[in-house]
Amino acid sequence: MKITYLGIIICLLFISCKPDGVKKSKEDRLKVDKVLLSPKEKAELKKELANLSLKPTKKVSEVNLSNGIKVKYFIRGEGNTLKDGEVAQINYEVLLDDNTFVDGNKLLKKDWLPFLVGYGMQTPGWDIAFRTLKVGDFVEIYLPSEMARGKSYVKGLIPPNSNNRVRVKIVGKIKPTKEIDGTKTWLLEENKGEKNLASEESAIKFHYMVGTASNPRYDISYKRKDPFVFRFSDFGIVKGLKKSLINAKRSDKMWVLIPPSEAYGEKGLMDLVKSNEHLFYDIFIMDVR
């Protein structure tokens, strides 16, 4: 069953390179040739980008997209545009037309949060706009109400039919922690003190949200307050899911993107998963035994 969310924060549940001797603004330093920087300097520059104020600067360009969406650029990044299935690090805030703040990573006191492009983690306009963005971009995205929450509302905070303005910096991209037979796993939060790793002999208990690009969050264990438990020897479990959970630990949080060949393939799954669709899981491990 699908549900709507205030923002990426609820969907997540929990959850940088000064060139020596160069005195430039942080914005200018974003244009430095990163090939000349050490890994430490790159990390420092990425952190600075995340911490830059989201207050708009002078507009450098503006692009009109489909469905009334507009993207106003304050800083232009470089490289390739984001693609479906990539995880971006974003520093963002969502405002209404009257400048009411309704969402943002600062609510969790985080410099940035991850965002998976193309899988309906936010309202429809997000994925459309993000497919045009690059690492380093600082933009304001105008989303007409039908590309935001539409007739849905949050009592006392977001009226129905509200336009949104999303100010966002694309801080970077996060590579998968591991990839097995096309199944990509991002370990977003790790319980480093836990020594008990899931193996093919284990039983594992976890909460999850699962969906596809066309049907985001079609099943949500949190809503039912009923975590899923299975043994790796159980029949009928999605192959890619099993492979992603090997070596998982209690309290780990992970995202898993599973290709059709490791999921439901050409047959799909009833009216939930179309033929040859990827599956996206948002998982929190509760126990391994």
Q: Which residues pair with 140 in a beta bridge?
A: 72, 167
Residues 117, 185, single domain; the answer is no
The residue-averaged pLDDT of 179-191 equals 97
Residues 156, 195, single domain; the answer is no
Residues 170, 31, single domain; the answer is yes
Comparing 40-44, 63-67, 176-180, 216-220, the range with the smallest average pLDDT is: 40-44
- Exposure string over 66-93, b if 16+ CB within 10 A, otherwise e: eeebbbbbbbebeeeebeebbbbbbbbb
Q: How much is the pTM?
A: 0.81
The residue-averaged pLDDT of 173-184 equals 97
CA–CA separation, 115 and 119 (whole Å): 9
CA–CA separation, 182 and 261 (whole Å): 8
Q: Count of domains in the chain?
A: 2
- Contact predicate 197/265, CB 8 Å: no
Residue 146 belongs to domain with CATH number: 3.10.50.40
The proportion of the chain whose per-residue pLDDT surpasses 90, expressed as a percent, equals: 74
The three-class DSSP label of residue 240 is helix
Residues 61, 183, single domain; the answer is no
Question: What is the pLDDT confidence band of residue 7, given thresholds at 50, 70 and 90?
Answer: very low
pLDDT at residue 16 in the model:
34
pLDDT at residue 54 in the model:
87
Residues 115, 233, single domain; the answer is no
How far, in Å, are 205, 234, 241, 245, 289 from residue 202 at the CA level? Answer: 10, 11, 14, 10, 6
Domain span at residue 153? 12-17+24-174
CA–CA separation, 217 and 219 (whole Å): 5
Q: Which residue has the tokens 């429809």?
A: 124
Residues 66, 119, single domain; the answer is yes
Residues 166, 186, single domain; the answer is no
Boundary residue ending a domain (112, 145, 174): 174
| Alpha helices by DSSP H, 26-165 | 26-29, 39-51, 124-130
The answer, yes or no, to whether residue 20 has pLDDT greater than 90, is no
The residue-averaged pLDDT of 254-275 equals 97
CA–CA separation, 127 and 104 (whole Å): 17
Residues 57, 89, single domain; the answer is yes
The answer as to whether 110 is a domain residue is: yes
